[in-house]
Structure 1
Amino acid sequence: MRKTYSRSHANRGAVLERLIDMTNKQYRNKGVADVRKVPTPVQITGNNRGRVTGYTMKGEWVDYVGIRNGMGRAIAFDAKETSNKTSFPLDNISEHQYEMLKSWHQKGAQAFLLVSFTKLDEIYLLPFKLLETYWEDAKKGGRKSIPHPFFFMNCDLVKSEKGYVLHYLKSV
């Protein structure tokens, strides 16, 4: 099954991921943590004289995994963006991403989402336990999104500080 994406859809999240990648490099260089982006799996369908064709496959991982120095705890998280100003739709998270975060959390990892409200220019760290509450409620027919005021009241706002582009580990 081949999917085609518009350029804007394909690049959705690229700005947030670039900020995270720069921060992760800073963390590695300072010996704070080693967190890496998990590559998106690609199925190669052909190679015609050096022109490779294929499609991205459904991943089984989240965007980033790693370990924090000094604590020795694993880190697993996904980066999500929404242009919605009032809430974060839970359908932005796939079932496999949620299940992986849950599994890693249950085994002692620091599992979370970095959620960017692009039109508000705000990025929040949503710990897995808070995500779990909304996810399980939605499965029972409850609200299918997390309201922005919930982030404002219960999650840490992640920003540039102490020389880090996006100092998310401060909140972990």
Structure 2
Amino acid sequence: MRKTYSRSHANRGAQLERLVDMTNKQYRNKGVADIRKVPTPVQIQSNVRGKVTGYTQKPEWVDYSGVHDGRAIVFDAKETSNKTSFPLNNISEHQYELLKSWHQKGAHAFLLVSFNKLDEIYLLAFKSLETYWEEAKKGGRKSIPHSTFMMECDRVKSDKGYVLHYLKHVG
């Protein structure tokens, strides 16, 4: 039986990640920050005469890490086609725990959340994520309303020549 996959599912987050990657290159080129995409780990199964076979492992990290203004920075880029809320199940437990641990140690920790159908991108600070995450664990709402993003988060846009100038909202 041939295994099939959904292209849209396989490429979730690809559009936002492209924008972030371009921006991070701009930040590096201008000496503002050094933030890089963390590669997905690969388990190599065999290497026969230069032909390598393997599979991607479940990532145990977030999408991006680096340094800005002498301080560590870690974040994940998330996209949703939902217009009214951001489902918390888009974040894995290990991603949340990593963001929490780094936040507790003084790093800038956050999510960049893209509402694809609304053409809006927001920076969700870890403290806001933590509030909703802990409520959900207690049986509360399992998503963050779009209205929360509009009222409490910074909207990230192209600015000052940067493709997606998210660092201006990191403080």
TM interval, shorter chain, is over 0.9
SS of 2:157 mapped into structure 1? coil
Quote the residue 2:26 is aligned against.
26
CA deviation after TM superposition for structure 1 residue 46, in Å: 3.1
CA deviation after TM superposition for structure 1 residue 50, in Å: 4.5
Structure 1 residue 153 and structure 2 residue 151: aligned?
yes
1:110-149 equivalence runs, <5 A = 110-149=108-147
Quote the residue 2:87 is aligned against.
89
Give aligned-pair identity as a percent.
83
Quote the residue 2:44 is aligned against.
44
1:47-86 equivalence runs, <5 A = 47=47, 50-68=50-68, 71-86=69-84
Structure 2 gaps of 5+ residues are: none
Please list the CA deviations of residues 21-80 of structure 1 after superposition, one character each: whole Å capped at 9, or x if unmatched.
Answer: 000000001110000000000112234554433221111110000001xx3110000000
* Aligned structure 1 segments of 4 or more residues deviating by more than 6 angstroms: none
Aligned residue identity for 1:103 = S
Q: Counterparts of 1:166 and 1:83 in 2: how far apart (Å)? A: 19
Q: Counterparts of 1:92 and 1:41 in 2: how far apart (Å)? A: 19
Quote the residue 1:35 is aligned against.
35
Structure 1 gaps of 5+ residues are: none
Q: 1:47 to 1:6 in 2, by over 3 A?
A: farther
Structure 1 residue 10 and structure 2 residue 48: aligned?
no
CA deviation after TM superposition for structure 1 residue 122, in Å: 0.2
SS of 2:117 mapped into structure 1? coil
Q: Normalised by the size of structure 2, how large is the TM-score?
A: 0.94
Aligned residue identity for 2:81 = S
Quote the residue 1:165 is aligned against.
163
SS of 1:58 mapped into structure 2? coil
Aligned residue identity for 1:73 = R
Aligned residue identity for 1:149 = S
SS of 1:119 mapped into structure 2? helix
